[in-house]
Structure formats: structure tokens, C-alpha cells
Amino acid sequence: MIEEITTEELRQKLENGEKLELVDVREDEEVAEGMIPGAKHIKMGDIPDNLGYFDKDTEYIIICRSGGRSFNVCAYLDDQGYKVRNMVGGMMNWTGETKR
């Protein structure tokens, strides 16, 4: 079972100043349209080669366009023993701040 977080819950946590580890797994051209400030960009296909970035004691919120790819990345990282949450609805539902 993959933990989830809604875009609204995430926006509230960020507005409250919580320190969160966000990973955006979209492609370069999607990220060029805007990312949540503070998110780390690691394309979905590059996740297996970047496992060294992740720490098993840290929870990561995984983000994509609509929530499908991020769910798949969550399932993969969960299988590897990492703590992850899928941002349901993805950037299509994101109403908070973005940066380019």
C-alpha cells in the first residue's frame, strides 16, 4: 500500500514551513513549465541510477503530471525499502507556487 498526499495537504505543509523532500519525476519539457519550489528533478527513467540520492530514514514525496508515473516510482522505491508518498493528482491539480 503506497501512502498518498493530496496537493492541498502538501501546499498546507509547505505554507506551514515544514521541511519536505520532494522529487519531481516528470520529463525535462514538463518541468520547464514549472516545478514546486524546492523539489529535486530526477526523471522517472533515471530513478534506478540515482538511488544514492535517497536515504532510507527520510520520507520522499514523489510528483509527476497526474499521479500515475509517481505512483509507479513510489512502488519501485517502496520495494527498495524507501519511505515514499505519492502526490495524488500530480501537477495538474497543484494550485500552489511554482518556479521555472
pLDDT in tens, the chain (100 residues): 999 999 999 999 999 999 999 999 999 999 999 999 999 999 999 999 999 999 999 999 999 999 999 999 999 999 999 999 999 999 999 999 999 8
> Is residue 40 within 8 Å of 22, Cβ to Cβ?
yes
pTM of the model: 0.97
pLDDT at 77: 98
Task: Show which residues are catalytic.
Answer: 64
Sign of CA dihedral 90, 92, 97, 98: positive
Q: What is the pLDDT of residue 100?
A: 87
